[in-house]
């Protein structure tokens, strides 16, 4: 039996070897990008250019898409059915690579879903692999990266390492990346490799370095928080335009921001002051639900003026300690800190958001739960107030120690920011005030007339 199998293996290898000698070799993928209700993008990377056929099977039958010869191939599959499962196959020079995916629900659909967040995978392959293997067990709807996938964006061997470890996860799950400081390259801090390997929605002002996407009733804003980007782009203006648009859209129940650098952290890098000055006030003004960052290689949860900030930088890079002397602003904001390899599992169901930090052994760091009440702004007149007391929703946190990510965590220390809050009622329109002033004036005049008549009668 063993010998027979060996014979088959040898024969297969011989055939495969002959095919690779002439054909291209698959370096990365296929992997999934740019998830939407009716489209998705399949990508792959070959050692030399070749055409590809992508066959998609699902609702509506089977369709074949042809991609022209390229080393980094990309095919956008369109006319799909929302919230549906598909199988796909990429055929290149006689070799087939198979995967599957599920399309996003209709934008605005109030359906529950979950996604995972990880970041700072960088250099430690074994730790990175353990995080990915644990993450794959949660069967997420998609994956969000908080940046620093590699140690040096110029090093192609490191990008290869990242995709090798992530291969199975990203074959069947769409990955939404954010660009970290290490993902860039050269003195110009360009993001050439990042831009070549990923295909994200092209709706940011600086192509692909920042972008927005929707999944069900959530709007995601993925930002480039690198210092250089502030000078190179009008990202802040774009961010505010996106926030206003989201708040004017009644189908958007939650807004999440994703960016590499954290505004608040008590680890080695600490919170980014420029982000606190430029973007945190906008997050507060438009009442976003949460911010997901990396950069410091730890798990952290912070709250500041009612906004929740999570640091998830424990994807494989060397773990960081607590800073010896944190900034008082960071110290006041951070409610939970743990130096641990981990990822976040985020579940959204209606108004409820649940964020669980999961260690590589499956145990839970903590689970944070809150509800966001629907809120909108009037056209051309943003009126949401940005203070803790005005923040909608409540937060509760359970310290975690369960053996499995799906198990309920026991009750633990209460988190900061537990006080219930409500939206400030909108100011009464000026027209309404004038009406009341007018009625009051008429009343006073009538009263005065009565007094005059009575006086005259006397």
Would you tell me which residues interact with Fe ion (CB under 5 A)?
148, 180-181, 295
Shortest CB 226 distance to Fe ion, Å: 9
From CA 55, how far away is CA 90, in angstroms rounded? Answer: 7
Which residue has the closest beta carbon to Fe ion?
295
Shorter beta-carbon distance to Fe ion: residue 269 or 345: 269
CB of 182 to Fe ion, least distance (A): 6
CB count within 10 Å of CB 349 equals 14
Sequence-ordered list of residues with C-beta below 8 angstroms from that of 126, at least 6 positions apart, any chain: none
Q: With respect to Fe ion, which residue has the nearer C-beta, 259 or 307?
A: 259
Closest distance of CB 356 from Fe ion, Å: 23
3-state secondary structure at position 149? coil
Relative to beta strand 290-293, strand 254-258 is: parallel
Q: Is the Cβ of residue 226 or residue 363 nearer to Fe ion in the bound state?
A: 226
- Minimum Å gap between C-beta 304 and Fe ion is 21
The residue (of 286 and 299) whose beta carbon lies closer to Fe ion is 299
Q: Toward Fe ion, which CB reaches closer, 34 or 120?
A: 120
63 or 189, CB closer to Fe ion? 189
Q: In the chain, what are the helix, strand and coil shares in percent, each to the nearest 5?
A: 30, 30, 40
For the chain, give the longest Cα–Cα distance.
128
Nearer of residues 103 and 293 to Fe ion, judged by Cβ? 293
Is the C-alpha dihedral spanning 55, 166, 347, 374 positive or negative? negative
Query: Given the complex with Fe ion, which of 184 and 398 has the nearer CB atom?
Result: 184
| Least Å from the CB of residue 183 to Fe ion | 9
Q: How far apart are CA 323 and CA 320, in angstroms?
A: 9
Torsion sign across C-alpha atoms 16, 22, 23, 26: positive
The CB-of-269 to Fe ion minimum distance in angstroms stands at 7
Residue tagged 């005059």 (tokens)? 452
How far is Cα 210 from Cα 242, in angstroms, rounded to an integer? 12
Cα separation, 359 vs 350, whole angstroms: 27
45 to each of 52, 64, 159, 259, how far by Cα in Å? 11, 19, 11, 26
Cβ-based neighbours of 163, under 8 Å, separated by 6 or more: 27, 28, 29, 31, 45, 170, 197
Cα gap 204→208, rounded to integer Å: 7
Q: CB of residue 259 vs Fe ion: minimum separation in angstroms? A: 11
Nearest approach, Cβ of 132 to Fe ion (angstroms)?
A: 19
Kindly give the pairing relationship between strand 40-58 and strand 352-359: unpaired
Which CB atom, from 37 or from 180, has the smaller least distance to Fe ion? 180
- Rounded distance, CA 276 to CA 272, Å? 6
Q: 183 vs 303, which CB is nearer to Fe ion?
A: 183
Q: Which is nearer to Fe ion, 227 or 277 (CB)?
A: 227
Please list the residues that pair with 256 across neighbouring strands: 220, 290
Cβ of residue 88: shortest distance to Fe ion, in angstroms?
33
Q: Rounded to the nearest whole angstrom, what is the least distance from the CB of residue 314 to Fe ion in the complex?
A: 13
In the complex, the smallest distance separating the C-beta of residue 261 from Fe ion, rounded to whole angstroms, is 7
CB 24 within 8 A of CB 49: yes
Q: Dump strand ranges (E) for 59-122.
A: 61-77, 85-92, 95-102, 113-118
Torsion of CA 399, 118, 266, 354, to 10 degrees: -40
């Amino acid at each position: 039996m063993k010998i027979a199998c060996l014979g088959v293996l040898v024969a297969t290898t011989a055939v495969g070897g002959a095919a690779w000698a002439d054909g291209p070799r698959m370096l990365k993928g296929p992997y999934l990008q740019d998830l939407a209700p009716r489209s998705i993008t399949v990508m792959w990377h070959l050692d030399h250019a070749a055409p590809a056929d992508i066959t998609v099977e699902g609702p509506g039958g089977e369709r074949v898409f042809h991609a022209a010869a390229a080393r980094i191939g990309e095919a956008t599959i369109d006319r799909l059915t929302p919230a549906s499962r598909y199988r796909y196959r990429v055929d290149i020079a006689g070799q087939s690579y198979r995967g599957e995916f599920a399309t996003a629900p209709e934008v605005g659909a109030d359906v529950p879903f979950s996604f995972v967040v990880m970041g700072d995978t960088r250099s430690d392959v074994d730790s990175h692999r353990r995080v990915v293997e644990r993450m794959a067990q949660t069967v997420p709807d998609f994956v969000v990266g908080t940046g620093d996938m590699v140690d040096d964006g110029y090093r192609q061997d490191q990008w290869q390492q990242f995709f090798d470890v992530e291969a199975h996860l990203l074959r069947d799950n769409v990955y939404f990346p954010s660009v970290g400081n290490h993902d860039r390259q050269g003195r110009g801090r360009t993001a050439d490799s990042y831009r070549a390997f990923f295909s994200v929605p092209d709706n940011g002002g600086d192509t692909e370095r920042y972008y927005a996407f929707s999944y069900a009733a959530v709007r995601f804003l993925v930002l480039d928080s690198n210092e250089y980007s502030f000078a190179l782009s009008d990202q802040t203006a774009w961010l505010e335009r996106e926030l206003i648009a989201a708040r004017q859209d009644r189908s958007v129940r939650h807004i999440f921001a994703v960016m590499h650098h954290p505004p608040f952290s008590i680890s080695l890098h600490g919170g980014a002051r420029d982000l606190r000055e430029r973007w945190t006030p906008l997050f507060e003004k438009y009442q976003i639900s949460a911010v997901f960052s990396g950069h410091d290689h730890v798990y952290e949860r912070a709250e500041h003026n009612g906004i929740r900030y999570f640091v998830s930088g424990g994807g494989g890079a060397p773990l960081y300690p607590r800073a010896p002397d944190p900034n008082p602003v960071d110290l006041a904001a951070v409610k939970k800190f743990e130096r641990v390899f981990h990822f976040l599992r985020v579940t959204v169901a209606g108004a409820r958001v649940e964020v669980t930090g999961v260690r590589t052994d499956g145990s839970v760091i903590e689970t944070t739960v809150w509800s966001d009440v629907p809120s909108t702004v009037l056209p051309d007149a943003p009126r949401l107030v940005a203070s803790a007391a005005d923040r909608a929703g409540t937060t509760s946190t359970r310290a975690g120690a369960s053996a499995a990510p799906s198990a309920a965590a026991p009750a633990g220390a209460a988190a900061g920011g537990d006080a219930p809050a409500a939206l400030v009622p909108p100011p009464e329109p000026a027209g309404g005030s004038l009406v009341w002033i007018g009625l009051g004036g008429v009343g006073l005049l009538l009263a005065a007339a009565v007094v005059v008549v009575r006086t005259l009668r006397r």
